[in-house]
Structure 1
Amino acid sequence: MNNYIISFTKKFDYFFEQKEISNIIYLHDEDDNERLDHVLFLEKDDGNVIGLYIRGMNPLISVNRIYDLDDFNLFASYEGLVESKENIKLRIEYICLFFSSEYNELLGFYLSNNDASSSLFVLFLQDEIDVKKNYSKSDASKVLKNKYSTEGYITYEKKSESDWREMKMECQQ
């Protein structure tokens, strides 16, 4: 594991391990109601958030709501933003991170409860965040294989209270 990957595994331990997600929050431009596809907030059961922002290769992470502190500098481009919540009940007991095998780039992540009956699959696509709810691990692996078969990717997984371990090209449990 290089320092880049270690840094992201520590971030995911801190922000996601054993947390409960209650809502996905999407932001919309107040003027035209267009959804901002490069920003995503996950609301925890305690009301706090984990914000994700992608512009280029790697996501930024914030714990601030957009109107509390604009960590992503969105108000430089948008006059007003509206939150739209989508309910999800997810106790995170399994984390899988997908990294490019060629570059220091986090491609996405998979979060689920122990039996994967509730999950969240997130891909970072340069300037867009693609979110899939309740995807199976095998479906997530198929998407990754189709999208990154030529460049390849490295997978690290963590189950409840275990250490991170590298997997062979796919997310398994």
Structure 2
Amino acid sequence: MNNYLLSFTKKFDYFFVQKEISNIIYLHDEDDNERLDHVLFLEKDDGDVIGLYIRGMNPLISKNKIYDLDDFNLFDSYEGLIECKENIKLKIEYVALFFSTQYNELLGVYMANNDASSSIFILFLQDEIYMKNNFSKCEASRMLEKRFSIEGFITYEKKCETDWKQVNFLNGKN
């Protein structure tokens, strides 16, 4: 595993593995109530958050609430923001990270509880975050294969207390 992959697996270990998510927080522009599709926050049971922001090839991750510290510099573009919460109950016991085979780019992440009865699939699309709640791992893989079949992707997964391991390599050389 190269340093780039190692860096992202460590970030996901720290921020997500074995954490309990209680809400998905979407931000809306206060002026026109339009949803910001390039930023997303996951609220943990203890009230802390994990923020994801995409502008370019890789997401930024923050542990700060938007009104505590604007890590993503959103108030440069927006006068005011409204938080809209969607309730979810998810203890993250399984994580799959999908990386491009051509570039150092995180394409998406799939997180689920042990029996996959609750899950989140997040796809990073240059300047947009696509998020699907209670999406199966199979559906997530099909979506990735359809979208990235030409350039291919690598999947690394982690189950509960195990180490990260590569589980597939689409359209590339092992």
TM-score by length of 1: 0.97
**Alignment map for 1:109-124 (pairs within 5 Å):** 109-124=109-124
CA shift digits 1:9-44 (9 cap, x unpaired): 000000001000000000000000000000000000
Show the counterpart of 2:103. Answer: 103
Show the counterpart of 1:3. Answer: 3
For 1:133 and 1:169, locate their aligned partners in 2 and report how far apart those are by CA, in whole Å. Answer: 25
Show the counterpart of 2:12. Answer: 12
3-state SS, counterpart of residue 168 of structure 1:
strand
| 1:106 to partner: Cα distance | 0.3
**Alignment map for 1:1-173 (pairs within 5 Å):** 1-169=1-169
CA shift digits 1:68-95 (9 cap, x unpaired): 0000000000000000000110000000
3-state SS, counterpart of residue 79 of structure 1:
coil
| 1:168 to partner: Cα distance | 1.2
For 1:27 and 1:114, locate their aligned partners in 2 and report how far apart those are by CA, in whole Å. Answer: 29
3-state SS, counterpart of residue 33 of structure 1:
coil
For 1:11 and 1:136, locate their aligned partners in 2 and report how far apart those are by CA, in whole Å. Answer: 23
For 1:53 and 1:9, locate their aligned partners in 2 and report how far apart those are by CA, in whole Å. Answer: 17
| 1:169 to partner: Cα distance | 3.5
CA shift digits 1:98-132 (9 cap, x unpaired): 00000000001000001100000000000000000
For 2:107 and 2:168, locate their aligned partners in 1 and report how far apart those are by CA, in whole Å. Answer: 16
Q: Unaligned regions of 5+ residues in structure 1, if any? A: none
3-state SS, counterpart of residue 14 of structure 1:
helix
TM-score by length of 2: 0.97
For 1:137 and 1:64, locate their aligned partners in 2 and report how far apart those are by CA, in whole Å. Answer: 29
For 1:139 and 1:69, locate their aligned partners in 2 and report how far apart those are by CA, in whole Å. Answer: 35
Q: Unaligned regions of 5+ residues in structure 2, if any? A: none
Matched residues, number: 170
For 2:136 and 2:76, locate their aligned partners in 1 and report how far apart those are by CA, in whole Å. Answer: 38
3-state SS, counterpart of residue 146 of structure 1:
helix
For 1:107 and 1:62, locate their aligned partners in 2 and report how far apart those are by CA, in whole Å. Answer: 18
- Equivalent pairs: percent with the same residue? 76
For 1:60 and 1:138, locate their aligned partners in 2 and report how far apart those are by CA, in whole Å. Answer: 26
